Chains A and B, each alone.
Chain A
Amino acid sequence: MINKDVNVLDIFTPCQIKIALTNKLLKELLHFGRQDLQNEVIALGSGKKYDNVWSMDKFTPITNVVKDAKYEKLVNTLRLHPATDYFPNPPEFLNFLKTTSHYDGDESKPDFVVIFHTHPHGRAIPSGTDIAHANTEGSGYDAVYIIFSPRFNEISFNYHDNTFNGFKTAKSEIIL
């Protein structure tokens, strides 16, 4: 079913993590990802981690402020490129974290399971910037990084365990 909407790329060594989401939610995510064909868009997904099977039940759009003058100095320090990179609005990012178990270990809250962003001009492959920051101590998250390329109409599901092991390809299960 997913192949009717978008091509799925397998880039890395497969891992045991499976991300499950409904076809409706996937369509909404793709629609959101097509809303800006010039700049990267970002969303964070919450759901539940059941051992190796993670469900994504909801996504929260986060504003990309990489071009915002308020963050210019930090964007430069991080050597990000405003034309091609993303920098999530920090207060929106913190507010999202607070709604998840990731923030305080409260298991009654949903888990932080997905980092979604687009590559409007490039392939749906983790970039050097994606890899470098995910592999850096203190940076990145134990999450499935979903990358969508509206231009090439392709998507990839890439798991990172927030260590130095790099990305692996997560299995994806689309629930009809």
Chain B
Amino acid sequence: MTKELLIHIKEVSSAGHDEWDIDPKEAVDFLNKKCSNGKWLFIDGEFISPEEICLDDLVEASDIVLTNELVGGQN
């Protein structure tokens, strides 16, 4: 019997935190959608831009975290 590989993702927000276990085939799309909606992605503590998300990194990662974005300015 083989164990199904799932990508574990944690999302931290003001409402608390959520966790998902996602099929690798869906994980890249899932993270891309999150990042296009203002989330920041960290893989093993490293900030990853949306265009840098790749399945190999997700499979090898031990810590995948989404946070709310934080930016601002004076204009």
A91 touching B71, Cβ below 8 Å: no
Q: How many residues of A contact B (CB 8 A)?
A: 44
A133-157 interface mask toward B, CB cutoff 8 Å, 1 = contact, 0 = none?
1101111111001000000000000
Size category of the B interface is 20 to 34
Judged by DSSP, the binding face of B is strand
The interface of chain B, by Cβ under 8 A from chain A, is 12-17, 34, 37-40, 42, 45-47, 49, 51, 65, 67-75
Find the B residue at minimum CB distance from A73: B49
Apart from the given pairs A91-B47, A97-B12, 11 other A-B contacts in the complex at a CB distance below 8 Å: A40-B73, A78-B69, A90-B40, A94-B47, A130-B73, A136-B38, A138-B13, A138-B34, A138-B38, A139-B38, A139-B68
A151–B24 Cα distance when bound, in Å, is 51
- The answer to the question of A166 belonging to the interface, with a C-beta cut-off of 8 Å to chain B, is no
Q: How far is the CA of A87 from the CA of B51 in the complex (A)?
A: 18
Stretch at the interface among A6-14, A25-33, A100-108: A100-108
